[in-house]
Structure 1
Amino acid sequence: MSRLRLDPFIVAILATVGVATLLPASGAVASGFGTATTVAVGLLFFLYGARLSTQEALEGLRHWRLHSVVLASTFVLFPLLGLAVTLLPSSVLPGQLAAGVLFLSVLPSTVQSSIAFTSIARGNVAAAICSASLSNLAGIVLTPVLVALLLSGDGAGVDGSAVLGIVLQLLAPFVAGQLARRWIGDWITRNSAPLKLFDRGSILLVVYTAFSAGMTEGIWHRLDVGHLLVLAAVCVVMLAAVLWATGWGAKLLGFARADRITIVFCGSKKSLASGLPMATVLFGHAQVGLIVLPLMLFHQLQLIICATMARRYAAEELVAA
């Protein structure tokens, strides 16, 4: 049961969803939460920019074959699987949930969990740091572009106002954080614990605002238990397919064991921390609740399954030694 323990952050998100369901914000209150969310997202991406070491990521480019495989998994293989999901009839999986699966498929990899699982499994931690950082740097540009290309036909694409929002709320703060890193990087490292609380609090604010809008618009009446079960199955199949493809692909390409572990864990993750704020910028408030639901489910699944795999990899190395 310890392996199936819920991530405390996921528990907090689910509790926030419950509060939004029972006490949704509306009217002037909702408008205030919307403004607060806009500010919080900008600050989040400023901190993301200040934390990520561009120099470290660029220096790691000498291991370009490994990073290329991870980026191909993150921004090519995943989107192809997401597109396949959109072929399911709406009676099986409603259109907005399918769009949510496609949205999660174009997100960058996680940073912290990718590195943590690679470390537990005795993989190439230095390469994991570089690869996860590169994925997030690339995702600032590639994720909105892929959303515009792949979701424009579903009424969830990027219009002119969304492009402006991407620049003002995501790209500009991120670049500002990168530029300010030389002055505030040490301070951010020293204060990582309180800043982590700010990160998570901001994401909970995003979740409450999004799900409140969904309740106000009545979108939850469109779902039933069957749709949620199908969504869970889709997320499991997608994760399993990517784990298999990255594992066997890395082996066929001749990577050493430590590098294969890095490819598996960096190439199979999707970032909840980046995805939720991005969704508020890219999609309308009424859409966000259903759009991010697949991401929330996939995030928990990837933690459970990859934690088990990391322990298995570590045990195998101990036996081999």
Structure 2
Amino acid sequence: MLRFLRHHWFVISVCVLVPAGFSIGRGMSPADVERFNATVGSWMSRGLAALILFLMSFTLDNSRIVAAIRSPRAVLWASIVNAGVIPLLAWPMMAFQPVADFRIGLMIAASVPCTMAAASMWTRSAGGNDAISLLVTTITNGLCFVIAPFWLGIASGEQLNLAAGQMMVPLIIGSFIPIVIGQLVRLHPAAAGLADRHKSAFSNLAQACIALQIVWVCITAGPQVSQGVAEGDRDGWIAAGIAWASCTGLHVVGLVLGAWGGRWLGYARGDRIAAAFAASQKTLPIGILIARDPALLGRLGLPFAVFPMLMYHVTQLVIDTVIVECIKPKGGDELEDAT
């Protein structure tokens, strides 16, 4: 039981914190939420996002990336699926979302890069080639300030009047620079040794910061939830179900394309495993940054835009954990907590 809680505490905490955050937020007025956001909330969100990305980059061992660079086919395939195919599939799905927040939120979830730590950990636990997932992570995160604005700009069109260039500078500062700094700090042997020895502790700290972000997201959306409940807005539950089904479908398609596409292209089993996880997984911190930062989409007043990203993240945690347990080699490493 203790081992189960240690490995899956983040999923459990999300299930507890989301309703708790809503309950707290429903007791607050919109004016109270806006006042806190104006004074502390926006800076807190940015700081937590930067800290999370730094911690995940700092603990990311890229010593095996050179081997993947020498044989880049699986890396390119997984990167294409993650940054190109999944957002392309999400585009028509936006039309089926009855809530504007979920329409934009679905594309946010689809266009953010591969998660920094989970893809490698799941790949390693399942007996795959984690060098491939590491390189896909590096490529998609390094280009996220171009890819995410591109897809959001195309998909939103006239609805948001969103210029891709408006998002580049905040994303470079809020996501790309913390990732680069984390890798630069690792160049010092003592720092790299510290990160490797305490990788689990740093990963747990990053997840705790994400949990704080989730709580605040739910609290800020609480007044809207309270208003919807008071007005008897039952259609909101249907809209949430459609959004969750869309997120689940996108993740499963990414898994299938990464694995079966890799098989069709003749990749080895370990490369197919890496391609499946790296092609389908999406990172939560950057999704929250895009949806909540006032310099990005937070200025548009779409409080629920972040929820498809939360739905996608929780879904991939559950589905991929089950997959790893089914395919991992006997006597393999236990799955570690990952963001």
Shorter-chain TM-score: what band?
0.7 to 0.9
The DSSP-based 3-state class of the residue aligned with 1:108 is coil
In the superposition, the TM-score normalised over structure 1's length comes to: 0.81
CA contact (8 A) 2:104 2:156 kept: yes
Q: Which amino acid aligns with 2:218?
A: F
The corresponding residue for 1:260 is 272
How far has the Cα of 1:33 moved from its partner?
Answer: 2.3
Counterpart Cα distance in 2 of 1:125 and 1:46: 20
How far has the Cα of 1:191 moved from its partner?
Answer: 4.4
Q: Which amino acid aligns with 1:22?
A: R
Structure 1 vs Structure 2: percent identity of aligned residues?
18
Instruction: Indicate whether 1:201 and 2:208 are aligned.
Output: yes
Q: Which amino acid aligns with 1:312?
A: C
CA displacement 1:134-177 (0-9 Å, x = unmatched): 33333354223433343343327357764442243333333333
Deviates more, 1:30-39 or 1:52-61: 52-61
1:271 paired residue among 264, 275, 283: 283
Counterpart Cα distance in 2 of 1:315 and 1:173: 35
Deviates more, 1:284-293 or 1:67-76: 284-293
How far has the Cα of 1:314 moved from its partner?
Answer: 3.5
1:42 paired residue among 50, 54, 63: 50
How far has the Cα of 1:19 moved from its partner?
Answer: 4.7
Change (3 A) 1:152 1:207: farther
Give structure 1 stretches of 5+ with no counterpart. none
CA contact (8 A) 1:128 1:262 kept: yes
Deviates more, 1:52-61 or 1:260-269: 52-61
CA displacement 1:56-75 (0-9 Å, x = unmatched): 54553112100011001101
Q: Which has the higher helix share?
A: 1
Change (3 A) 1:301 1:168: closer
Counterpart Cα distance in 1 of 2:208 and 2:175: 18
The corresponding residue for 1:138 is 143
Change (3 A) 1:147 1:220: farther
Query: How many aligned residue pairs are there?
Result: 312
Deviates more, 1:163-172 or 1:275-284: 163-172
Q: Which amino acid aligns with 1:202?
A: C
Give structure 2 stretches of 5+ with no counterpart. 333-339
Instruction: Indicate whether 1:243 and 2:255 are aligned.
Output: yes
Counterpart Cα distance in 2 of 1:79 and 1:156: 19
The DSSP-based 3-state class of the residue aligned with 1:284 is helix
CA contact (8 A) 2:290 2:298 kept: no
CA contact (8 A) 1:93 1:227 kept: yes
The corresponding residue for 1:7 is 11
The DSSP-based 3-state class of the residue aligned with 2:207 is helix
Instruction: Indicate whether 1:128 and 2:133 are aligned.
Output: yes
Counterpart Cα distance in 2 of 1:208 and 1:100: 18
The corresponding residue for 1:151 is 156
The corresponding residue for 1:166 is 171
The DSSP-based 3-state class of the residue aligned with 2:113 is coil
CA contact (8 A) 1:214 1:287 kept: no
CA contact (8 A) 1:99 1:154 kept: no
How far has the Cα of 1:87 moved from its partner?
Answer: 2.7
Change (3 A) 1:132 1:193: same
The DSSP-based 3-state class of the residue aligned with 1:254 is coil
The corresponding residue for 2:68 is 60
2:41 paired residue among 17, 33, 44: 33
CA displacement 1:237-271 (0-9 Å, x = unmatched): 22232222222211111112221111112111111
Counterpart Cα distance in 2 of 1:220 and 1:154: 25
How far has the Cα of 1:109 moved from its partner?
Answer: 1.4
CA contact (8 A) 1:73 1:267 kept: yes
Q: Which amino acid aligns with 2:99?
A: P
In the superposition, the TM-score normalised over structure 2's length comes to: 0.77
CA displacement 1:221-250 (0-9 Å, x = unmatched): 265221122222222322232222222211
1:229 paired residue among 241, 246, 271: 241
CA contact (8 A) 1:203 1:276 kept: no
The corresponding residue for 2:337 is none
Change (3 A) 1:172 1:246: closer
CA contact (8 A) 1:214 1:286 kept: no
How far has the Cα of 1:193 moved from its partner?
Answer: 4.7
Q: Which amino acid aligns with 2:91?
A: L
